[in-house]
């Protein structure tokens, strides 16, 4: 059974930093693209970032580009999201998701973690 477990969320002040983690199990982690998707309170889903199997190809939403960094450790089946220069509008539940795609574009997110809440507030 595929499992994705996020951690690292919490309350942080505007301008601060936070690092989210996602530990995967139940599948060969190194064979899959991975993603972060967020959901602001009471709002819809917003794609944040993707990372390729080898960690060298990464894509970011414009809203987080230059502030967030996605990375992975295949030896530890772990996905990360380093979030810097946080803003109030980054407040959301952040989901780790496995991406299914045959190429760098397109595809879907076939398994999701339970999410971790990030609150940016003074």
Q: How far apart are CA 13 and CA 114, in angstroms?
A: 24
Shortest approach of other proteins to residue 122 CB, angstroms?
A: 28
CB 99 within 8 A of CB 106: no
Is 80 among the residues that bind other proteins (CB under 8 A)? Answer: no
Stretch that binds other proteins, among 16-24, 58-66, 70-78, 84-92 (CB under 8 A): 58-66
- Of 12 and 35, nearer to other proteins (C-beta) is 35
Pick the closest to residue 34 from 68, 74, 1, 62 (CA basis): 74
115 is an interface residue for other proteins by CB under 8 A: yes
Q: Does 69 bind other proteins (CB under 8 A)?
A: no
CA angle 101–4–81, rounded 5-degree value: 80
Q: Does 27 bind other proteins (CB under 8 A)?
A: no
Q: Quick one: DSSP state of residue 113?
A: -
- Asked if residue 41 binds other proteins (CB under 8 A), the reply is no
Answer yes or no whether residue 102 interacts with other proteins by CB under 8 A. Answer: no
DSSP annotation string for 33-56: EEEEEEE-TTS-EEEEEEE-TTS-
Question: Does 46 engage in binding with other proteins (CB under 8 A)?
Answer: yes
- Site residues, other proteins (CB under 8 A): 35, 37, 44-47, 50, 59, 61-62, 95, 100, 105-115
């Amino acid at each position: 059974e595929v499992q994705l477990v996020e951690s690292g969320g919490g309350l942080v002040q505007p301008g601060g930093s936070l690092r989210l983690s996602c530990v995967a199990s139940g599948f060969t982690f190194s064979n899959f693209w991975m993603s972060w998707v967020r959901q602001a309170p009471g709002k819809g889903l917003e794609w944040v970032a993707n990372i390729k199997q080898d960690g060298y190809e990464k894509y970011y939403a414009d809203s987080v580009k230059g502030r967030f960094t996605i990375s992975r450790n295949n030896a530890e089946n772990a996905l990360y999201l380093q979030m810097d220069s946080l803003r109030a509008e980054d407040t959301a539940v952040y989901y780790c998701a496995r991406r299914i795609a045959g190429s760098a574009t397109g595809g879907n997110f076939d398994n999701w973690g339970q999410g971790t809440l990030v609150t940016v507030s003074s």
